[in-house]
Amino acid sequence: FSRHLLSPPDFVSARAGAMAKRAVLVKFHDGLSREDKWKSIGHKGITLWMTGLSGSGKSTISVALEHALVTKQPRPYFVYRLDGDNLRFGLNRDLGFSPEDRKENVRRVAEVSRLFAEAGAIVIAGLISPYAADRAYAREVHANASLPFLEVFVDAPLATVESRDPKGLYKKARQGMMKDFTGIDAPYDIPEAAEVHVRTDLNSVTQSVNIIMQHLDQAGIHLPRRFRQLDENEAPTCTAP
């Protein structure tokens, strides 16, 4: 048994053929417009991409931000939180921690985030996402769909996150019990142009949440609301007393 390997031009041609076949077999079905969905909830969809080392505070701040937006405002916001650890029990349970699997992890979460943002959700996606190229891909997915996207760098020095070590992972990595652990023997590309930068060693959880909400305000996701005018047949008729 021998396997025939396609040359690069042949591979491109084969991929183009597969894409053309998919276009014939699959039809995109339009529904309610994005604008109508956003108007119904009063704000645009947006993705907050929370990146940082394990133990930096991504999950803690994400949960606190979710509560702040849903339960602490005069009117609740439509929020959906995508936690990197939680997703590995379902959507990403078939993925490990190799560079290839990390890339696929980010790709899947980016696409799901886009779908929720399309529906008008404030998406809080919290995952390490150590590679700058993968985070750039997540941003591009939203840019191509004309959806707002904020990269949030949840930052703390390595010594601080190691001292926190809520899962005991840094200790295992230092002892050689875990390989390819981000920050120890696997790289983390520090964001160079994140829209939001919170230092969790210098700011409390509440302060960090408030910093993020200030940037949300500046992102202009609120839509002005107006009273719906009545039709003539909806209004009661005046009768003489």
Catalytic residues: 129
- What is the number of alpha carbons within 13 Å of residue 241 lying toward its C-beta? 0
| C-beta of residue 119 within 8 angstroms of C-beta of residue 101 | no
Cβ partners under 8 Å of residue 197, min gap 6: 152, 153, 155, 191
Nearest to 61 by CA among 136, 132, 131, 125: 125
Q: Is 231 helix (H, G, I), strand (E, B) or coil?
A: coil
CA dihedral 58, 199, 118, 225 (to 10 degrees): 120
- Residues listed for the chain: 241
